[in-house]
Amino acid sequence: METESMKLTKDELRQLEEFERRRIALNQSEWWDRLSMDQKFGVYQLQKFGFDLAFIRNTEDGPLAVVRRGSEFASVNHEGDVDLSPDIVLRD
């Protein structure tokens, strides 16, 4: 039984659907499979410090692995170079 307070606005429903689409798009192992060998090594090193692979972003310079530890982000480029202070803009 649905009450009036449980109804979502169209905008809230769209945001929820977008969140779910992103969340189920790829699981952790599928992201991992998309990394280059150099990126896997860089991400593995960051995992030792509590970072987890969050997603891969396609850039003009090639795929960029983005890892997260709480509110901190780091990135690993396609050559395996680690950036502990990346300039990343996240979508809502």
Give the per-residue pLDDT at 3: 45
Residue 68's φ and ψ, nearest 5 degrees, are: -140, 145
On whether the CB atoms of residues 8 and 15 are closer than 8 A, the answer is no
Q: What is the pLDDT of residues 62-80, one digit of tens each?
A: 889 999 999 899 999 999 9
pLDDT above 70 for 37: yes
Indicate the domain borders of the chain: 10-83
pTM equals: 0.67
**Range with the poorest average pLDDT among 21-25, 26-30, 68-72:** 21-25
